[in-house]
Structure 1
Amino acid sequence: MRGQDEVDNCTPSLSSRKQLFSNTASRRSSRRFTPYGRTPKSRQLKGKNHEILSNGTAERSRPRDRRSAVETDEEHESNLKGLTNKSWKLFKMTPLYKFNTESSQLKKYSSQLSAHIEAERQKGLFIDNATSSKAYISTYKGLRVSAADKEAVQILIKGRNRGGFGDETVLLTCLLCSVEMEHNPVEPKLRDKFAYYPLLMVKGLVSLTDGLITWMQSHFDCVITPMIFSAHDLAWMVAMWSGTTTEPVHKSKPVELLYKTPTDCKGIDKITFTIESTDVKDLWDRIHDDKGSEFSSEEVTMFINSLESHFHSLFRVKLSALQLYSVGTSLSYIGDVGRLKIFSADHVLWILRYLTVLSLEHFTQSCS
């Protein structure tokens, strides 16, 4: 086995692409860590309310009030951009009991959460004693797409020096959202009592995150757990998002596949496979012959197997025997334990739509 410096962060040249594209038709066998039985046979590259433009971006189309179109578009664009280049931790939730997005209710929740944080701070559990803090809960425009979606909700926890000097500092940002959810899993007769948000995105102190989740679970009788992605989930994401570039070809971020090595493999804990985004897109375009919006599980398997086979031809390391645990593309970086970083504001809805699909699948499977 090669040393860490030789194997980790390998960036092979794909100038001789015949190796990469040869015999792809025969690489349809199942690989380890891929639960095909619980995965749909095909997925959509875009949603029903989106169109993929010539530059690969997703454009949402829905009726707008002409009088406020400019103001609304500017607010939505700003909100989407505000979600990029930040490290988010993803959670999934069961429906929230008696959660209401009316302004008066959100103000009430803000006061209750602030009181909870202050009580925990006085116990010395998660906030430095030199800091006071306050919660702000409001709706977050620009993410609601389908009729089944709830208006997104943002939770900010800000802190200020106990002496009251200086501006408040954001200690935690949280977003409850649903983007183009296909259907609401809550029984129609119960929807006036239960609000379902597939995604909970958090950026902030771990201790504050734990305090927020504790409050939400006790206050709205819900269960919040981290989103865990299988290797096959990540493979779908690579195939879906590697075929799109957000910048000129020579500036686009490379594609990265990170694999965990077995515990008995001393000296190496991970292998990072880095490929130029243009080469990966070329491979995907050759495999995905249909230029429509859908692609299949077989195409994803062929795509990943081709990349892993190319790596084996160069380094004699079988990545198919390892576990894929994190992927990076020009659009986003995402890990198996629900770590997410979005790079392109044009693709925020596209990415969150797919994560909404996965979260909804997890929820329906747990209820079946």
Structure 2
Amino acid sequence: MNSTDLSVLARCIGWLEAGRRAALVTVVRTWGSAPRPEGAWLAIRDDGQIFGSVSGGCIEDDLVHRVRHEGLLDADAPSCVVYGVAKEDAARFGLPCGGTLELVVEPRPDLDLLRALLRRIQAKRITLRELDVRDGACLLRDADRSARPEFDGVTMRSVYGPRWRLVLIGAGELSQCVAQIAMGADYEVVVIDPREEFLSGFLVPGATLIQGMPDDALLELDVDAHTAIVALTHDPKLDDMALLEALKSAAFYVGALGSRRNTRSRKARLLDFDLCPDEVERLHGPTGLYLGARTPAEIAIAILAELTCVKYRVPVLQKREIPGAELWRRHAGLAGEAGADGAAGVPGGGCSAPSVQFRE
């Protein structure tokens, strides 16, 4: 559940607690180029005020019209609404590329159940919410990271809580920037660092901090295919220890900070241990897309961008430069700063020339 949808839940609870009526709208199925993913939420108050989104805006306008003029909140049970089946609907409601989405509208969500769901999410419990659209009966139960939203026309199953986890090795300034962006992108963030002086200065609320050696801590975390691991200490003694365990795990992404030269040296070192070449080649290094990033915040954006590509299996050749980049560097007074081994995204060793991402 992303941060926007969590805010929708909190806002709907607030409206109900204030004695207002409200409906919850959930995206349950999409076809084509739908603007919002399955599970996305929208809350509509009895006066037409909305919070959240299920499209670019036109569908929200239609739902508000139904609340104000068609008694949408007066229904006794949830209803299903489909937008975009016909070409004229796609044009009318602004759905891109003829996309179609199906919504479930709950006119009378149970306040106590919504409160319980919010508490479970805040406790980082992955929760499956089951709704019978025939009568509105709803229940909550525990789920794991592999759970997916489903709708069979009768039962809506929605998954809430941190389905993705990001483990950061090192609690420095860059890790704080990465953690802030990752939490906004619906990652549960875990930070591992044996150095008390670094952990004590880590100021990102909601992140789980573990003081200990990275390899031992990773073994205790039960790393799965919904986990990403990024080593950011820039200290081989710590980063390499973490990578020895991370590269053998089921993590969908394993990355490490450093230049291309340092990455080659690191991969050679890792081969001296009990890792096979295929495991070592899983390492994303330098971690992050080639964006010419220099500041910690910019590097964090590059790292989360690459994580997103890998998460959704979008291939990106991110370290190639556009023609003329060397000429641009000379004009910018940067010639010789990066060379073949410079790593975009590493302060003091990166090229800030323009770059382009090549997608297959």
Shorter-chain TM-score bucket reads under 0.3
Q: Greater RCO between the two (CA within 8 Å, min separation 6)?
A: 1
Q: Name which one, 1 or 2, has greater alpha-carbon Rg.
A: 2
With structure 1 as the length reference, what TM-score do the two structures score?
A: 0.23
With structure 2 as the length reference, what TM-score do the two structures score?
A: 0.23
